[in-house]
Structure 1
Amino acid sequence: MVTKEEVIEQYDIEAMDEADNVDLSEDDLENGSKGQLIKRAGQLRDRRNELNQMASERASNRDDLNAKTREKVDEAQEHREKRDELNEQVQEHKDKRNELNADANELFDEVEELKQDMELGSGKSIEELKEEIEDLEFRQQTEVLDAEDERELIEKIDEKREKLAEKKEKVDDTSELDELVEEAEEVRSEASQHHQKVTELADKAQEHHNQMIEAYREADDIRDEADEMHELFVEAQEAADQHHEDFVRVQKRLRELDKEEEKERKDERAEKREEEKEEAEEIYQKFKEGETLDTEDLMKLQKTGLL
């Protein structure tokens, strides 16, 4: 399982140092001077921008990794489809091979049955029968036999000559057997060809299966990296959001201070006008009583509209 540290090193991205973050306490916010708050707002803004840039880079890396994950999953799916297609072909050739082997077995069974019917596989061979006949004939010619023995010998010779004739007739009529054997061997050969295809296609299907497994494994590894990168993105983005929130709070406080200052200035101006008015009214009262006014007094009367 990949770690955040490994992802940071592998993708050469800047690690977020919390020591660089800018803190804002309630005491700083409520009791800090305007100058201090303006400085703190600048620090928060700059750090927020750095963190947003960091989050953007991490989000881009995460998206790239997710895209690579999808590519690997698509690659694995292609191998899966090719494997399944080849396995279907394997099954087709297996079925055909089994069907042909069954047909060949039936033909070879027919061959054996035909051989048994023709008795080619049992009994004495033609050469053996010829030798036996020659031996019997030689005996008939060289031995002195009584009538009964000679009759039995002649019957044996005739019997073996009949068997020899039957054997020769069957041997001469083996074309059906030869054709049947040839057909059986051709069917068996065709079955062997399908078996060869089964082997070839099964090997290819296994290759695609292995490639599918490897692609899924790589997809899992890249997905783990993407997940870690997403956590790094969230870490930076949350810190950026906090800095932005604190920046907004400082800005709000500065606006409040501006309003307070403006109110103080207005109050001071109003108080000053009230004082000037009171002073002008005193001067005006002196004027009505006949006292001589200097230039400054006259200007004060003009300013307040009493003259």
Structure 2
Amino acid sequence: MAVAKEHDVEELDESDNVELTDDKLENGSKGQLIKLAGQLRDRRNELNQMASERASKRDDLNAKTREKVDEAQEHREKRDELNEQVQEHKNKRNELNAKANELFDEVDEMKEDLELDDGKDLEELKEEIEQLEFRQQTEVLSTEDERELIEKIEDKREQYRKKKDKVEDSGELEGLVEEAEEVRSEASQHHQKVTELADEAQEHHNEMIQAYREADDIRDEADAMHELFVEAQEAADRHHEDFVRVQKRLRELDKKEEESRKDQREAKREEAKAEAEEIYQKFKEGETLDTEDLMKLQKTGLL
């Protein structure tokens, strides 16, 4: 027999049950049967009370099961709602990343058109010029070496000026880069939302699983409590059936007693009538009757 885990119930002690045998029913005296009927009635009432308490606890457990299932359903709905939002942000993120990639491709094409990717960037050229100028100022060089160094500095300065002019003429490029970076940043924000919402959806999923597990556990308790209810109710029903059988037997005995008393009364009447007729015959024959004889005649209506 399964036992409910968290709900203590009074154990059904079968030794307290009242047994009715055919021999007791058929051969027991009226007094014995009256006593037995009382025992069966009292035990039936105890068992009915026990069954009622177990049914109430079973119903409470079933209600808690439904509450847990409802809780799980709420988490399921919230999870599904969040997953829909995750998909929406994913789609937006992918759309923006695709757009950002297109813009960065345009940036690369524009750079190639402006030849901004050729050679070194402005910062590198500026640093090289400063190093060459520092060398010119601090080192003792031959006339030939100094002339070569000056030519080199001038060449670097010319490269710097040309690249700077190209950069200054590329305002459109800067705007395109800024737009691409903004689109990429927006895509990153949607990716962050994807991560946050997915984590929240997973939490609701975990809560849903936990609620379903708890519902299963409580349902098991409710099923066990139902078995205990059935156990007590069946025992109560059996005691009630036996109580009814004893009551029926007592009515049969009462009927027999009444019939026996009726037969006795009838026999007494017949006896009295016969005695009165005998007295009346004596009276007709001229015998003197005493008071008792006269009363017997009056009772039978012969006088």
TM-score tier after normalising by the smaller chain length: 0.7 to 0.9
1:4 corresponds to = 2
Alignment map for 1:171-210 (pairs within 5 Å): 171-210=167-206
Gaps of 5+ in 1: 132-137, 143-161
2:276 corresponds to = 280
Separation (CA, whole Å) in 2 of partners of 1:206 and 1:43: 61
Change (3 A) 1:32 1:124: closer
Q: Alignment partner for residue 300 of structure 1, among 290, 296, 300?
A: 296
Q: Deviations over 1:186-235 (max 9, x none)?
A: 00000001111111111111111111111111111111000000000010
1:37 corresponds to = 33
Moved more, 36-45 or 22-31: 22-31
Q: Deviations over 1:84-137 (max 9, x none)?
A: 111111111111111100000000011111111112112577869xx9xxxxxx
What fraction of aligned residue pairs are identical, expressed as a percent?
Answer: 80
Change (3 A) 1:69 1:39: same
Change (3 A) 1:223 1:6: closer
Alignment map for 1:135-214 (pairs within 5 Å): 169-214=165-210
1:101 corresponds to = 97
Q: For residue 167 of structure 1, report the CA deviation from its aligned partner.
A: 5.2
Q: Deviations over 1:17-73 (max 9, x none)?
A: 111111111221122111111000000000000000100110110011111111111
Q: Alignment partner for residue 215 of structure 1, among 193, 211, 218?
A: 211
Gaps of 5+ in 2: 130-142, 148-157
SS at match of 1:4: coil
The structure 1 segments of at least 4 consecutive aligned residues displaced by more than 3 Å after TM superposition are: 3-7, 123-128, 162-169
1:13 corresponds to = 9
Change (3 A) 1:200 1:280: same
Separation (CA, whole Å) in 2 of partners of 1:192 and 1:124: 31
> How many residues were matched structurally?
278
2:229 corresponds to = 233
TM-score, normalised to structure 2, is: 0.85
Q: Alignment partner for residue 69 of structure 1, among 38, 50, 65?
A: 65
Contact 2:41 / 2:240 at 8 angstroms: preserved in 1? yes
Separation (CA, whole Å) in 2 of partners of 1:62 and 1:125: 81
